[in-house]
Amino acid sequence: MARQDTAGLSVEVRIYGPTNQRRSQYAVRHERDRKQQGPYKTIHLLDGSRSISLTDKSNKNKMTAKEFLRQYEELNRRARRYQQEYRIELEKVDAIGSTLSHDAGMPHGSGVSRKTEDKAIRLADKAAKWKAAEIDALQKRQEVFEVIHDIEGVEGDILYERYINLRRWEDICVVIHMSWRQTHRLHRKALEDVSRKMALNGT
């Protein structure tokens, strides 16, 4: 298998069969693999002895509309996880503080204060991760909002409820007063609108 780059286009070349035969004029046919997602092109060059498959992978790493929109949900989930970790660590620090208050005035070694210091450091680390994750999530929320805010009608409402308010599908159906099937049909249409907008913006 060889790889070529033509005018910035990444092309994968697969060669089948013997390679020592003389090249002849190739019959060319275009195919679209049903398993492929996105606008990829597969070109098979056939001369009876071998097949060369040229696959356009220029868009392979580009996000789908749904992948882009779900980024805020994923970052928000990560922020909530860090928040929970911070609260657990805070409870541990509070527990140590309670122990120290009960032991006030009683002689004790430096081990307790060192333990408290370690807990405080871990607490500060958890807090920093939580706040950083919150900022990332809010920035991504704004990016998602900028893409969907001008999509009008019920389609826009569905996108807003799903990807900004992070509502469940059954709740969205209630909000827009539509059935599950109607809601998902309009959602697919809205994703097509987002895909076109992303393509225009080069996202």
- Same domain, yes or no, for 6 and 23? yes
The two tokens of residue 4 are 């070529």
Query: Residue 129's closest CA among 159, 85, 63, 69?
Result: 85
107 and 12 belong to one structural domain: no
Single out the residue in 12, 27, 56 at which a domain terminates.
56
The pLDDT of residue 31 is 38
What pLDDT was estimated at residue 96?
A: 66
My answer on whether 29 and 71 are in the same domain is no
51 & 73 share domain: no
Do residues 39 and 124 share a domain? no
User: Does 74 lie in the same domain as 43?
Assistant: no
How much is the pLDDT for 61?
55
Statement to judge: residues 50 and 71 lie in one domain: no
Q: Classify residue 3 by burial, with Cβ atoms within 10 Å: 0-12, 13-18, 19+.
A: exposed
**What does the pLDDT read at residue 119?**
82
pLDDT of residue 98: 58
Q: What is the pLDDT of residue 25?
A: 39
Domain count along the chain: 2
- Same domain flag for 99 and 117: yes
What domain range includes position 97? Answer: 65-201
What is the model's pLDDT at position 183? 98
Say if strands 2-6 and 9-15 run parallel, antiparallel, or are unpaired.
antiparallel
Candidates 53, 43, 54, 47; CA nearest to 21 is 47
Q: Are residues 35 and 88 in the same domain?
A: no
Can you state the angle between helices 180-201 and 153-163, rounded to 10 degrees? Answer: 90
Cα–Cα distances in Å, from 89 out to 76, 92, 131, 199?
A: 20, 5, 15, 45
Q: Enumerate residue ranges in the chain where pLDDT < 70.
A: 1-61, 96-112, 203
Say yes or no: 147 and 166 in one domain: yes
Q: What is the pLDDT of residue 203?
A: 64
Q: What tokens appear for 164 in the block?
A: 């900004």
168, 172, 173, 175: CA torsion to nearest 10:
140
Looking at the structure, tell me whether residues 19 and 101 fall in a common domain: no
Alpha-carbon distance 44 to 31, whole Å?
8
Q: Tell whether 87 and 52 lie within a shared domain.
A: no
